[in-house]
Amino acid sequence: MLEKDKYAAMYRLGIDEETADVISNLNAPQMLVLSETNQLIFQLRFQNSDMVKKLTEDSRVGDIKQMHTGILLSSLLLDSLSK
C-alpha cells in the first residue's frame, strides 16, 4: 500500500511520513521479526468509545456514514500530526 500510494496509505494507516519511510525500507528479515511478535504493533485511532458507537450505529444513509468516518479519521490524523 505504501509503495502504490504513499500519502493515501499514510492516511489510512494513521502514520506520519517518517514512519511510512521506515516501514517502506524494511527488508525481508526485518518484516519477519515484526510479523513474529505476539503484541499489537499498531494502535486503533479510536480512543473514544462514543466515537465508535456513533460510527457503528444504524443509519438511514450509508454513504454519509462512510464520509463521516473519513472526516473523523482525518481530524484525528491532523490532531496527532500537530502534537
Query: Cα torsion for 9, 13, 80, 53, to the nearest 10°?
Result: 130
* Structural domains in the chain plus CATH codes: 1-43 (1.10.4000.10), 44-83 (no CATH)
How many CB atoms lie under 10 A from the CB of residue 20?
A: 17
pLDDT, mean of residues 7-23: 87
Q: Which residue has the higher pLDDT, 21 or 57?
A: 21
Q: Work out the percent of the chain whose per-residue pLDDT is above 70.
A: 71
pLDDT of 51-83, one tens digit each?
Answer: 777 767 776 666 677 777 777 777 776 776 676
Band of residue 22 on the pLDDT scale cut at 50, 70, 90: very high
For CA atoms 83, 3, 42, 70, the dihedral sign is positive
